[in-house]
Structure 1
Amino acid sequence: MSLSLERASELKQIIHNHLLKMNIHGRIREVLAETVREDHGPAHRSLSQADFLRALQHRGIIDDVMKDLQFTQEVLTDAEPGSPPKPATHFVDKNITQLKKTNIDPSRRHLYLQVLGGKAFLEHLQEPEPLPGQVCSTFTVYLHFRNQRFRSKPVPCACEPDLREGFLLEIHREGTGEGSKMADGTTMLSLCDPVHLVLIKTDTSSETMLVSSYFLDWRVVLCSPNGKTCFAVELMGVGSECKVPAGVLTVGLELYPPLTDTLSADIISTQQSLERQRTAEKERLFLVYAKQWWREFLQIRPSNQSKMVKIFAQDENTVNRPVCSYVHVLRAGRLLESPRQAARFVSLLAHEKAPVVGGGDKQEQWCTLMAFLCRGKGDCEDHATLLCSLLLGFGLDAYVCVGTKAKGTPHTWVLTRSTDGSITFWESLTAHRYVHRAIDPDAPPLAPQPKPTSPYRTVGCVFNHYTFRANCQPSDAVELCVFDFQNQSRWKAMSQEALKSVCAPGSTTSLPPLPPLCAPSLDPAAASNQLELELRSLVSEHRKGCCCPGCR
């Protein structure tokens, strides 16, 4: 039987992967050391190749290697003529129920997450099955895990949507120089980062809607036999529908390579219970501190009660979190070239208030960053926190401002301070910038005063990822405010240590992980060129078949 060069290379790669999985090099070194020490003694250092092979065969290592190397007919047979060779660093998962492990690096630990279908999406119970080529509403699953983001193929909305997708997630250590080492069971047990699943519905007019946001604790696979498990995940609604089930997803988890010694379920449940207790205690202590801080703030001036000082905010799952936890240092790399471009990017995300059933005031909903990016639209708070995170990533001294604009409408925007003390307001919905110049109320009546240029009327507090300051000046009018944050008589600050205990990355398990920005899947230059070529071709074909004198 003859093999092509591509199949021979793939076969070598399979053998190499199996040998790495068995740690064959370490076992050979152990046999070599034992043979030199026991059989030949310290005085005799020479060892022939035949002696070493006999030692390997005597200890059964050669038999173990031959038993472990089992190939299927698909690997040994040659590829079809004209089929492209498969890259050595990529796998094509044609069958969702079985992961092809031939080209996965066996020296790294991976988690294979499968979405095996959905059911009980009762809102779409009466929705008819779409005809071929018909435009219909679709479901899309977005996933984020430890700086890795994925998206499933859109499928038609139905009571039992055909959501079937596989995602290969890499589990790695965070220590310096340990990124290439395989994580063991103890290390993975300490990784409390969940898998964030976001379900988005896109209707026929391309409008998106956030259906559910779910945090999956994947560590249940550590106690499963053979590193495989499958279970159902109940997705709840968002906002006012957070207590109403949206549907059920069947999820399968597979650990590769599997653990030789699986952990017990009691150890995993104990670890999760300890993490919840530690998080609850930190949040309780911060709440006690926040209440005391608020009482002190009201004692400064009774009128402070009416100022817009926002300490906590609810996310899409109606979980109360400190507002500082919604801001992170987000570095865009080469995706965004300047702060102005970052402001333009944020302004292109659509503005939409959180939907609410019935009338009355708007429902407050500060989305997590992953849900906001997947949905592609949100309220002014979502835009402001994202823009502040990006400006912090560019090295600017940026803060989110909570206050009001014209007609007393609640609003949030971004403030940056320069090294010379100048203040610039950034409107996250429009990418406009305004230079702030405060009015001096103690100036003489005839002294010239700067005219307000921004649309903002009052400001109650400012915050970013590590500081929170409330405005305790006599007036909260923006044109009279002095943004000297070091002056305790003008701005009352919270303890940075208290904020860090509940808002710093990794401080509590209730904080959602920070997703990275992803490059667009569409190359605008290439798409523009292709569109121009297609238009030229269509115009040329139209002119050939047209009888008008002007087209000839």
Structure 2
Amino acid sequence: MSLPPEKASELKQIIHNHLLKMDIHGKIREVLAATLSDHRGHAQRPLSEADLVQALQRRGIVDDMMRNLHVTQVVRRILDSSMRASQPVCHVCSEDVVLVPSANIDPSRRYLYLQVLDGKAFLEHLQEPEPLPGQVCSTFMLYLHFRNQRFRSKPVPCACEPALREGFLLEVHRSGLGEGSKMADATSMLSMSDPVHLVLIRTDTSSETTLVSSYFLDWRIVLGSPSGKTCLALELMGVGSESKVPAGVLTVSLEFYPPITEALSADIISTQQSLERQRTAEKERLFLVYAKQWWREFLEIRPSHQSKMVKIFAQDENGVNRPVCSYVRVLRAGRLLESPRQAARFVSLMAQERAPVVGGGAGGKQEQWCSLLAFLSRGKGDCEDHATLLCSLLLGFGLDAYVCVGTKARGTPHTWVLTRGADGSATFWESLTACRYLHRAIDPDAPPLAPQPKPSSPYRTVGCAFNHHSFLANCQPSDAVELCVFDFQNQCRWKAMSEEALKSVCTPGSTASLPPLPPLCAPSLDPAAASNHLELELRYLVSEHRKDLELATVWDDHLSYLLSSALLAYELERCTGVSCGNEEFQDAVRRAVPDGHTFKGFPIHFLHRNARRAFATCLRSAFCEEIVCCRGDHVRLAVRVRVFAYPENACAVWLMFACKYRSVL
């Protein structure tokens, strides 16, 4: 199969770049000079071309050149990594040049090859020093999502012109029933309004992540390119309060494989995009008119409703106002999560961090409900991000789940999740901790001496509840949670929005402005290797700490191993709420500690894998410091680490320090 002309020229450029990199011309000149010098001494016949080639072969120049021209292997590696849906990562090294070949991929499918060529004008990093070899520095990482496919780039050092050079092979498939295996043509692709969502994350030297930009790329512009390939400069804007400030520019190229036979005219593409924008704008306008009327009716019920926390719209990371119902979808995790409680545990392992406020003063809060890809890529967010993700997962497990908006103690705004049982019971789920609270309402009309349930949850008021197709405002006389009855069918207690109105702007595909829902990714972390590495680091830190105190350190490997069962029991209890396995652990410790000896243990839980941070935190506990700095007769120390990996590489890290020593009376 012959290559297209543009591919042939690109292949020639590949070979030329590799030859320059090897300094092949200099090596050939050296061989020629040596051969001519040897030939002058016994010139019996003219020096032929075959003699020169033979000399190059003897020196190994030809073999070296062929070994370095590893284009086929590079292409195969890129394709293999791109085609794996479970690990959708495609790396393109700057030294490697990648072609989209016509072999080893399904010829009946259409692919969009998106290549990030470079980054420019990241002015915030203008003064970033050039990292030295082996030096830890801040890095950029790019995350992509397109039609249920997720990708991430390799990290590159932060700079004004970061070396973001990556290639991603995106499959463009039809979404109609029974048409998934058919090749998408230009006409069918024109109707696909799903954008390529790009999220840029910055990770600093302490492993803290920051959301730099979130960009939605309409890739259909390439449908109008006669060559089937186009190059774009994407201006990435900041997030939150800086959503109007440019963060930098990415240069990307887009190309279809196999190439489309006939390009569409630019007028057809622009007309389709214009019609989609008009339909979206009209739907959003009609919903806004309806929401205003609904709000006026809600205020007419009772004047005090003006102060209730009824939130219909929320700003995303790009400063776009969206209905809160659009942040919740039915999300199924496949085999990555096995139960609702395990889902709650996973969400709680995502760290909490409020959106930063510039000049907001004490107590200020910047509203920022992140899109799901931005939240997952960053690995942390505020309580709203946690609650919408947990609600989406619980809906996927078939529960009747809602996000509640209200307050906690001292009037602090907060969101959490509510599930309703078939018997009418209500259970609160705290998405930040995975704690569950069974709600029992207090009856204000009961006799004074009648027994009343005590509030078990930390929530004080609730203004509204919503999910992907319902929005309900609390119109009971009091919005106190302890008095609230969560009977959503009772219109005297809860005022509901029209489901049809919500469906017009919140259903996937209803408007072009809704970001698609990305799937969860399996963890790429090896829990056993991570546990061993962190445990060795902690052993070193403990030994050095005791050395500073002029204390010897003797480790008891058997005792360290016994601590594993306790750490597993702690994690299972966090997941299921049921304590199990402690009896066996206690019996094993009794057998391992001789008579007349004392055992002490200190378990602790972290959301990170930084050994120095963890050790410094442990030493703040007087009990842990007593174990680490134990003095006495026959002192033996133990430490055990268990890393439990969840989707998106969220980690529950349990560690326990222990010691045993002979008691002195």
Fold shared per TM-score above 0.5: yes
Query: 5 Å matches for 1:176-191?
Result: 176-191=177-192
Per the alignment, in what secondary structure is the counterpart of residue 98 of structure 1? coil
Per the alignment, in what secondary structure is the counterpart of residue 490 of structure 2? coil
Q: Which residue of 2 aligns with 1:8?
A: none
Deviation at 1:178, TM superposition (A): 1.2
Q: Which residue of 1 aligns with 2:80?
A: 90
Q: Which residue of 2 aligns with 1:158?
A: 159
2:145–2:518 Cα contact (<8 Å) kept = yes
- Superposed CA deviations along residues 343-373 of structure 1, whole A, max 9, x for unmatched, are 1111111100001111342111100000000
1 CA distance for matches of 2:486 and 2:536? Answer: 54
Q: Which residue of 2 aligns with 1:298?
A: 299
2 CA distance for matches of 1:549 and 1:375? Answer: 40
Is the alpha carbon distance of 1:241 and 1:433 closer, same or farther for their aligned partners in structure 2, counting shifts above 3 Å? same
Per the alignment, in what secondary structure is the counterpart of residue 376 of structure 2? helix
TM-score normalised by the chain length of structure 1: 0.81
Task: State how many pairs are aligned.
Answer: 472
Is the alpha carbon distance of 1:253 and 1:96 closer, same or farther for their aligned partners in structure 2, counting shifts above 3 Å? farther
1 CA distance for matches of 2:117 and 2:138? Answer: 20
Deviation at 1:226, TM superposition (A): 2.1
1 CA distance for matches of 2:240 and 2:329? Answer: 23
Runs of 4+ in structure 1 off by over 2 angstroms are: 77-81, 83-102, 525-536, 548-551
1:114–1:167 Cα contact (<8 Å) kept = yes
Q: Which residue of 1 aligns with 2:640?
A: none
Q: Which residue of 2 aligns with 1:353?
A: 354
Per the alignment, in what secondary structure is the counterpart of residue 277 of structure 2? helix
What is the aligned counterpart of 2:419 among 416, 419, 426?
416
Query: 5 Å matches for 1:212-251?
Result: 212-251=213-252
AA partner of residue 446 (structure 1): L
Is the alpha carbon distance of 1:161 and 1:459 closer, same or farther for their aligned partners in structure 2, counting shifts above 3 Å? same
**What is the identity percentage for the equivalent residue pairs of Structure 1 and Structure 2?**
82
Deviation at 1:280, TM superposition (A): 0.1
AA partner of residue 380 (structure 2): K
1 CA distance for matches of 2:251 and 2:416? Answer: 41
2 CA distance for matches of 1:470 and 1:504? Answer: 20
Q: Which residue of 2 aligns with 1:459?
A: 462
Deviation at 1:528, TM superposition (A): 4.3
Per the alignment, in what secondary structure is the counterpart of residue 233 of structure 2? strand
Per the alignment, in what secondary structure is the counterpart of residue 231 of structure 1? strand
Q: Which residue of 2 aligns with 1:203?
A: 204
Is the alpha carbon distance of 1:228 and 1:480 closer, same or farther for their aligned partners in structure 2, counting shifts above 3 Å? same
2 CA distance for matches of 1:550 and 1:233? Answer: 58
Deviation at 1:535, TM superposition (A): 11
1:96–1:114 Cα contact (<8 Å) kept = no
Per the alignment, in what secondary structure is the counterpart of residue 80 of structure 2? coil
AA partner of residue 466 (structure 2): F
Deviation at 1:130, TM superposition (A): 0.4
More relative contact order in 1 or in 2 (CA 8 Å, sep 6+)?
Answer: 1
2:100–2:257 Cα contact (<8 Å) kept = no
AA partner of residue 151 (structure 1): R
Q: Which residue of 1 aligns with 2:496?
A: 493
Deviation at 1:143, TM superposition (A): 0.3
AA partner of residue 417 (structure 2): V
AA partner of residue 365 (structure 2): K
Q: Which residue of 2 aligns with 1:60?
A: none
Q: Which residue of 1 aligns with 2:265?
A: 264
Per the alignment, in what secondary structure is the counterpart of residue 293 of structure 2? helix
Is the alpha carbon distance of 1:88 and 1:113 closer, same or farther for their aligned partners in structure 2, counting shifts above 3 Å? closer
1 CA distance for matches of 2:105 and 2:239? Answer: 37
What is the aligned counterpart of 2:452 among 424, 438, 449?
449
Q: Which residue of 2 aligns with 1:401?
A: 404
1:90–1:104 Cα contact (<8 Å) kept = no
Deviation at 1:384, TM superposition (A): 0.4
Instruction: Answer yes or no: is 1:134 the counterpart of 2:124.
Output: no
1:397–1:417 Cα contact (<8 Å) kept = yes
Deviation at 1:176, TM superposition (A): 1.8
2 CA distance for matches of 1:532 and 1:363? Answer: 39
AA partner of residue 478 (structure 1): V
Tell which deviates more after alignment, 240-249 or 102-111.
Answer: 102-111
Is the alpha carbon distance of 1:357 and 1:532 closer, same or farther for their aligned partners in structure 2, counting shifts above 3 Å? closer
1:117–1:250 Cα contact (<8 Å) kept = yes
2:408–2:460 Cα contact (<8 Å) kept = yes
- Superposed CA deviations along residues 172-222 of structure 1, whole A, max 9, x for unmatched, are 011122111100111000000000000000000000000000000000010
Q: Which residue of 2 aligns with 1:343?
A: 344
Instruction: Answer yes or no: is 1:334 the counterpart of 2:335.
Output: yes
Deviation at 1:102, TM superposition (A): 2.6
Per the alignment, in what secondary structure is the counterpart of residue 169 of structure 2? strand
1:380–1:428 Cα contact (<8 Å) kept = yes
AA partner of residue 169 (structure 2): L
Instruction: Answer yes or no: is 1:509 the counterpart of 2:512.
Output: yes
Deviation at 1:392, TM superposition (A): 0.4
- Superposed CA deviations along residues 96-125 of structure 1, whole A, max 9, x for unmatched, are 453334322221000000000101000111
Is the alpha carbon distance of 1:149 and 1:424 closer, same or farther for their aligned partners in structure 2, counting shifts above 3 Å? same
Q: Which residue of 2 aligns with 1:313?
A: 314
What is the aligned counterpart of 2:477 among 474, 484, 490?
474
1:96–1:165 Cα contact (<8 Å) kept = no
Tell which deviates more after alignment, 337-346 or 208-217.
Answer: 337-346
2:226–2:262 Cα contact (<8 Å) kept = no
AA partner of residue 390 (structure 2): L
Q: Which residue of 1 aligns with 2:523?
A: 520
Per the alignment, in what secondary structure is the counterpart of residue 313 of structure 1? strand
- Superposed CA deviations along residues 503-538 of structure 1, whole A, max 9, x for unmatched, are 0000000000000000011232455468889999xx
Query: 5 Å matches for 1:21-100?
Result: 90=80, 95-96=96-97, 98-100=99-101
**Structure 1: segments with no counterpart, 5+ residues:** 1-13, 19-73, 537-547
1 CA distance for matches of 2:512 and 2:487? Answer: 34
Is the alpha carbon distance of 1:88 and 1:117 closer, same or farther for their aligned partners in structure 2, counting shifts above 3 Å? closer
Per the alignment, in what secondary structure is the counterpart of residue 214 of structure 1? strand
Tell which deviates more after alignment, 100-109 or 377-386.
Answer: 100-109
2 CA distance for matches of 1:532 and 1:550? Answer: 15
AA partner of residue 274 (structure 1): L
2 CA distance for matches of 1:84 and 1:217? Answer: 32
Q: Which residue of 1 aligns with 2:103?
A: 102
2 CA distance for matches of 1:309 and 1:398? Answer: 18
AA partner of residue 121 (structure 1): F
Q: Which residue of 1 aligns with 2:279?
A: 278
Is the alpha carbon distance of 1:476 and 1:535 closer, same or farther for their aligned partners in structure 2, counting shifts above 3 Å? closer
Deviation at 1:550, TM superposition (A): 7.4
Is the alpha carbon distance of 1:84 and 1:240 closer, same or farther for their aligned partners in structure 2, counting shifts above 3 Å? closer
TM-score normalised by the chain length of structure 2: 0.67
AA partner of residue 231 (structure 2): C
Q: Which residue of 2 aligns with 1:372?
A: 375
